[in-house]
Structure 1
Amino acid sequence: MKFSLALPLLFASVSATPICDDAQRSSFPKFCDLLDLASSNEASLADDLFALPWAAIQKELDVEAVEERRLEEGESALPIVVAHGMGDSCFNRGMKSIVDATSKKVGSYATCIPTGSTRIKDTINGFLLNMDASVDVFAEGVKADPNLADGFNAYGLSQGNNLIRGYIQKYHTQDGYPKVNTFMSICGINAGVGAFPNCNPEDHKVCAGLTEVLGDLAYNEFVQGILFQANYFRDPSKTDSASYKKHSQIAQWENEGDDVQESRNEGFGMTSKYVWVLGTEDTVVWPREGEVWGAMDPSDPFSTKLAYNETNWYKEDTFGLRKADEEGKHNWESFDGEHIQFTQAELMGWLEKYFM
């Protein structure tokens, strides 16, 4: 069966048609089991994904404790788009509380744009709708919201930053799509991940499926066409491999793959301000320095780390990171904690500093 980018949309409804053909099932048995579960029991899979300890915002913000900003006559504040992480959904109470607190703090319209029409579909699509396709759905959600028509600020949590970054690079150069003025990435998977930690395949069917394909099997058309996490899996020992350069979506986004597009640089340059937030104790993103554009050294891929300005994509400015640095657009923040486990006070402080 030839796999296309449109096929993940099959997961939007229950289908009795097997997702994998015989050859794919032979090569990826556990991953195909996961796809079968998505096809036959969406609700169960969505609940399993939300329950993963590293996946979602599991607590609600105290919206009542947020000091409301009342705009003076003639004053305005750009609307804000929030993008959730893997395992989460715009329809969950935790994300709703984050959006409400953001709106109240900044004194502007705020919204979370899902990639699925329900909690179940939005959660599953964070895994089984690939990164490029997810950006396309996200972009149509932005375009359809009249409150965002004149531009907006945005911040993401974990994987949600890939949606915003992808939108900036692909849709800023297209007519009819509003621009992101300030982008704040909190624990973003910006430089990809070289491992998928804290996910025991013996304990969870989802982890078994991910472990099977996030390795030597990650860089092929079938897996890259489905799995969001495979799209930003960046094995530091394989960045010169033909399969990585040909099939990896993150390789194309960094303009280090076979598909180099100058429009990605142009789109990146249209954002006025970037804020990169690092979780100093993060064990979910490896290396955690990738949240602020660091990477492992390809010549010593599992021991030596490169700062953002020592990487090839900075030195050769493959997608616009160095130019943005030279223009003073980068801002660097951190918090002492595990993946997206910042405090409410820290989030409100960043919003006040960069969005007000």
Structure 2
Amino acid sequence: MGDSCCNPLSMGSIVKLIENNITPSPYILSLRIGDNIADDTSNGFFMNVNHQIDYACNLITTNKNLSEGYHSIGFSQGGQFLRAIAQRCPNPPMLNLISVGGQHQGVFGFPRCPGDNITVCNYIRDLLRFGAYETFVQNHLVQAEYWHDPHQIEEYRKMSIFLADINQERTFNEIYKTNLLKIRNMILVKFLKDTMVEPRESEWFGFYKENDTSTIIDLRDSDLYKNDLLGLKQMDEQQRLKFIESNTDHLQFTDAWFIDNIIPYLKE
């Protein structure tokens, strides 16, 4: 959100960090959703997430460099979007899925604005306040598509066009579970001082108890886990579900932390 595939200060620096720490230097595709950088940035706010998943799937499946399989890294909302790709677009095979601050149970709050997008973020707040589950808002506002209101659970399950679907909260899709179980490992990074994601436990599949924002239900206590709707329980029992912490704010990490905690999964 608010970033692009090729910003030299963000994704561009991650690409260089990976290239400099893996030998031989790997092929890296930084997904651009749209025809240019401006489109890519705007689409992170206003392009239907399901359309983004289809767009990214096409980029991946038509790229011959990825035909034997690939590791994936998603930052913030990119983490949950890549999980949707694993569930819906299994070929070529995704190997390790690394979610850095991804909101896998969605968010209930929009606390601050990244970068210089203050006007855009104020507009988003107005739309979410107007009605996150209105059809128009769901179809045209990315953040509404993973807005998870614990006080309107039935409305969320009925109207959420993205998150409720990929989390098996509307109807059970066996293919989603089958495809997700094909990956080697799912690596989930939570930022312990996160002021962007509410609640931060969403980064590890935790979320508020229904009608109670003072109580968090952790992944292993959730119906998603107990009923193994996505295969997360099976992956956990097989030690393929990895939980990593960073004692920092959202996406604030050092090169050394990234090298120690993330790079090893890109060498497998």
Q: TM-score range by the shorter chain?
A: over 0.9
Aligned with residue 163 of structure 2, among 236, 246, 250: 250
Select between 187-196 and 96-105 the one with higher mean Cα deviation. 96-105
Q: Secondary structure at the match of 2:261?
A: helix
Deviation, structure 1 residue 208 = 2.6
Deviation, structure 1 residue 204 = 3.7
In structure 2, the residue matched to 1:87 is 2
Distance in structure 2 (CA, Å) of the matches to 1:122 and 1:199: 17
Aligned with residue 148 of structure 1, among 54, 66, 85: 66
Aligned with residue 234 of structure 1, among 148, 152, 168: 148
Deviation, structure 1 residue 288 = 0.2
Deviation, structure 1 residue 193 = 0.5
Deviations, residues 223-248 of structure 1 (Å, cap 9, x unaligned): 11111111111112222x2x322220
Deviation, structure 1 residue 163 = 2.3
Distance in structure 2 (CA, Å) of the matches to 1:144 and 1:353: 27
Any residues of structure 2 matched to 1:9-28 within 5 Å, and which? none
What is the one-letter code of the residue matched to 1:152? Answer: Y
Asked if structure 1 preserves the Cα contact closer than 8 Å seen for 2:103 and 2:205, the reply is no
TM-score by length of structure 2 reads 0.92
Distance in structure 2 (CA, Å) of the matches to 1:325 and 1:340: 25
Q: Secondary structure at the match of 1:112?
A: coil
TM-score by length of structure 1 reads 0.70
Q: Secondary structure at the match of 2:262?
A: helix
Distance in structure 1 (CA, Å) of the matches to 2:35 and 2:77: 19
Select between 109-118 and 275-284 the one with higher mean Cα deviation. 109-118
Any residues of structure 2 matched to 1:168-317 within 5 Å, and which? 168-172=86-90, 177-199=91-113, 204-215=118-129, 217-239=131-153, 241=154, 243-248=155-160, 249-257=162-170, 259-298=171-210, 300-317=211-228
In structure 2, the residue matched to 1:344 is 255
Aligned with residue 47 of structure 2, among 122, 129, 134: 129
In structure 2, the residue matched to 1:164 is 82
Aligned with residue 354 of structure 1, among 262, 265, 268: 265
Deviations, residues 292-349 of structure 1 (Å, cap 9, x unaligned): 1111111x52100111101121112222221211222111111111100011111111
Structure 1 residue ranges, 4+ long, deviating more than 4 angstroms after superposition: none
Distance in structure 2 (CA, Å) of the matches to 1:232 and 1:255: 13
Distance in structure 2 (CA, Å) of the matches to 1:130 and 1:235: 19
Distance in structure 1 (CA, Å) of the matches to 2:262 and 2:215: 34
Unpaired segments ≥5 residues, structure 2 = none
Asked if structure 1 preserves the Cα contact closer than 8 Å seen for 2:80 and 2:99, the reply is no
Q: Secondary structure at the match of 2:168?
A: coil
In structure 2, the residue matched to 1:45 is none
Structure showing greater Rg: 1
Paired residue total: 261
The reply to whether residue 97 of structure 1 matches residue 9 of structure 2 is: no
Asked if structure 2 preserves the Cα contact closer than 8 Å seen for 1:91 and 1:118, the reply is no
Q: Secondary structure at the match of 1:184?
A: strand
Distance in structure 2 (CA, Å) of the matches to 1:322 and 1:199: 34
Deviation, structure 1 residue 199 = 4.5
Deviation, structure 1 residue 276 = 0.7
Distance in structure 2 (CA, Å) of the matches to 1:310 and 1:219: 27
In structure 2, the residue matched to 1:113 is 31
Q: Secondary structure at the match of 2:259?
A: helix
Q: Secondary structure at the match of 1:270?
A: coil
Q: Secondary structure at the match of 2:61?
A: helix
User: Structure 1 residues 216, 238: closer, same or farther in 2, change over 3 A?
Assistant: farther
Distance in structure 2 (CA, Å) of the matches to 1:220 and 1:264: 26
Unpaired segments ≥5 residues, structure 1 = 1-85
What is the one-letter code of the residue matched to 1:335? Answer: S
**CA root-mean-square deviation:** 1.7
Deviation, structure 1 residue 216 = 6.2
Distance in structure 2 (CA, Å) of the matches to 1:301 and 1:114: 38
Asked if structure 1 preserves the Cα contact closer than 8 Å seen for 2:17 and 2:255, the reply is no
Percent identity between matched residues is 31
